[in-house]
Chain A
Amino acid sequence: MSSAITKNLKTAFFSALLVVAVAYPVLGLKLTTVGIKLEVHNASPAVLWTIAGCAIAMFFWQLFRDQISSAWSHAPKLPAVPSKATNFLTLPSTQRWIILGLVVVALAWPFFGSRGAVDIATLILIYVMLGLGLNIVVGLAGLLDLGYVGFYAVGAYSYALLSHYYGLGFWVCLPIAGLMAAFFGFILGFPVLRLRGDYLAIVTLGFGEIIRILLRNMTELTGGPNGISNIDKPTLFGLSFERKAAEGMQTFHEFFGTAYQSINKVIFLYLIALLLVLVTLFVINRLLRMPIGRAWEALREDEIACRALGMNPTVIKLSAFTLGASFAGFAGSFFAARQGLVTPESFTFIESAIILAIVVLGGMGSQLGVILAAIVMILLPELMREFSEYRMLFFGALMVMMMIWRPQGLLPMQRPHLELKQ
């Protein structure tokens, strides 16, 4: 008993010391420039007292943590979500209804939301599409791809270049951008056929960087670091949403005889993004119930067993890379159209990391999960703008907590229940 107390006393003392050692240099000292010299001052007494208070609190907490935790365990617990409810939430049929409800809300949203809100919603939809696409590669086929942003860049630059050099419109370029990205996915697929896990992750990471650096250095074609600007916005059956239409074109407000409103353009972009997401959802939903979708999952589970059953792993892997990349291509060309400007710096590794985080956070393979996670990942940093420099800290803490308490993701995928006889 006494040795336990001595041990606790020792840990408590060192913990308190650590608090002071970490907090004092970071928060307790202030650097001020006097002329050309830097001077070190103590921070305000309030800050110093807070640090001391924290150290003392830490000391007592460490000293009595056994007693505190046993007292805590007697405290009434929060009512846990019954397992039936979570089961119900993750059922495919429930998810379909939730998705339907979300679609209705999403359709009505732009006509009530503010301009900024609709703009952020459009951004979220882009990430939903990217998340759904990467979900094929990572969640279903189990191939860890850290260079997904490369395909996004290919899609964006496909539209930007075709629009810049050949004056092609968005709707013509959308399928071309998808095909180009799919082609690059196919190209990447070949060298990584034999790789799994960590090795695959490193090669795909390199691939994403290669594309970005290529785009930056092919200055004659891509404009280098300045990128390509003045990319045409999408039109509605030839009707432009600008104030003044280009030659031979009509604008939306002239055609319908209404006054020009800049928010119309934002709403229109939002609705295009929504349409693209819905098409993506539909296609992936069908893919899941097709032989190729099942084969992707089988490949994730056991590649050797796949081969023993006569399935060609090469074809299955390449199809996952190709189809996954094509969705990034669509998202990319829409991104270029929305921004009106593409630069290589829009396609850095952090983008890949965010998309991957959306997939993992949502729950591998789960579509509703991806949508939810995209909303959380994009909206949260926006909402926390007032906390300025602390918001990335909050964000990081949230991710860590998620992975500790819910490593399977927000809404993990449930196996479909198949009826044997119909």
Chain B
Amino acid sequence: MSRPILEVSGLSMRFGGLLAVNGVNLSVQEKQVVSMIGPNGAGKTTVFNCLTGFYQPTSGSIRLNGEQIEGLPGHKIARKGVVRTFQNVRLFKDMTAVENLLVAQHRHLNTNFLAGLFKTPAFRKSEREAMDYAAHWLEQVNLTEFANRPAGTLAYGQQRRLEIARCMMTRPSILMLDEPAAGLNPRETDDLKALIGVLRDQHNVTVLLIEHDMKLVMSISDHIFVINQGTPLADGTPEQIRDNPDVIKAYLGEA
């Protein structure tokens, strides 16, 4: 068993009188695919927003590799290697696909003003490497021929893949995907499943997934957490979850 990379305990998020998330605990092992499932409005995306610093959780602790990260602003958490996609794709629509990938490498580039102004060799090298890395990932997600198309004009499935590639530009340790299969056709979903497998096995990325497509979740997850009405309901391997009476009740209603 590998060590936990992300540990969440007692996470709660209150919006005025609404307790959207109540005492959620997660323990995510390194290099695994972990899914979070639950009915609509269960608070899954709210948990995501808390983990990535878009919300400040009301209480609870979030540890990344043992380090407390709750309360940090979003961009600082992203710099520690926790990067996410969004339920509704958020690409830089007017910029081309390859520009999207270059922007995401911002932190890894030579951002010295004078170096860029005079195009020093160091600056050229840094730009060259960024371009190579972007080209590599465009190939990985099958978008090489669309490199110079504005991202907003790509087909929906392509936009989803580009968003994942863009996350990979930041060299993340945890990739959080918010409903990546929503709106994809069965073939695209299979491609996505293969891609997630590649991310975990070849790029040592831990994947945290919110997804409604049960076939995908059950076939790819190493571990599943179930949330219902903001509270944790169950967790375990796909087999354990499938047979759990509480989960069946939450999804299908009282028999």
Contacts and interface: CB of A to CB of B under 8 A. Distances in A.
B148 A309 contact: no
Contact of B91 (A305, A307, A420): A305
Given A286-B117, A291-B116, A310 B79 contact: yes
Interface residues of B, number: 46
A309 B98 contact: no
A414 to B, nearest CB: 10
Given A286-B117, A301-B94, A302-B92, A308 B74 contact: yes
Contacts of B96: 415-416, 418
Nearest to A323: B113
Contacts of B147: 418, 420
Contacts of B102: 291, 294
B52 interface: yes
Interface stretch (B37-45, B104-112, B186-194, B206-214): B104-112
B74 A417 contact: no
A311 B90 contact: no
B110 to A, nearest CB: 8
A286 B112 CA distance: 12
A295 B106 contact: yes
B75 A311 contact: yes
Interface in A144-185: none
A311 B113 contact: no
A310 B83 contact: yes
Contact of A309 (B106, B116, B131): B106
Contact of B99 (A308, A418, A421): A418
Given A290-B111, A291-B106, A295-B106, A307 B95 contact: no
Interface in A275-316: 283, 286-287, 289-292, 294-295, 297-298, 301-302, 304-313
A311 B116 contact: no
A295 B128 CA distance: 17
A310 B170 contact: yes
B90 A295 contact: no
B119 interface: yes
A125 B30 CA distance: 59
B160 interface: no
Given A309-B103, A418-B148, A291 B109 contact: yes
Given A415-B148, A415-B150, A418-B147, A307 B113 contact: no
A420 B144 contact: yes
A105 to B, nearest CB: 27
Interface in A388-422: 415-418, 420-422
A291 B111 contact: yes
Nearest to B176: A308
Given A291-B106, A291-B111, A308-B83, A297 B98 contact: no
B138 A420 contact: yes
Interface in B24-64: 52, 54
A418 B74 contact: no
Interface string B131-142: 100110010000
B178 to A, nearest CB: 11
Contacts of A289: 116
A126 to B, nearest CB: 23
Contact of B74 (A287, A297, A298, A307): A307
A307 B106 CA distance: 12
A302 B117 CA distance: 26
B113 A292 contact: yes
B117 to A, nearest CB: 5
B84 interface: yes
A420 to B, nearest CB: 4
B135 A287 contact: no
Nearest to A302: B90
A138 B94 CA distance: 15
B149 to A, nearest CB: 9
B174 interface: no
A308 B84 contact: yes
Nearest to A421: B135
B98 A420 contact: yes
B86 to A, nearest CB: 7
Nearest to A286: B117
Given A418-B131, A421-B135, A298 B103 contact: yes
A310 B107 contact: yes
B106 A311 contact: yes
Contacts of A422: 128
Contacts of B170: 309-310
B21 interface: no
Contacts of A420: 98, 131, 134-135, 138, 144, 147
28 contacts: A289-B116, A290-B111, A291-B110, A292-B111, A294-B103, A297-B99, A301-B95, A302-B90, A302-B92, A302-B93, A304-B54, A305-B92, A307-B75, A308-B52, A308-B54, A308-B74, A308-B84, A309-B83, A309-B104, A309-B106, A309-B170, A310-B83, A312-B75, A415-B96, A415-B148, A417-B148, A418-B148, A420-B147
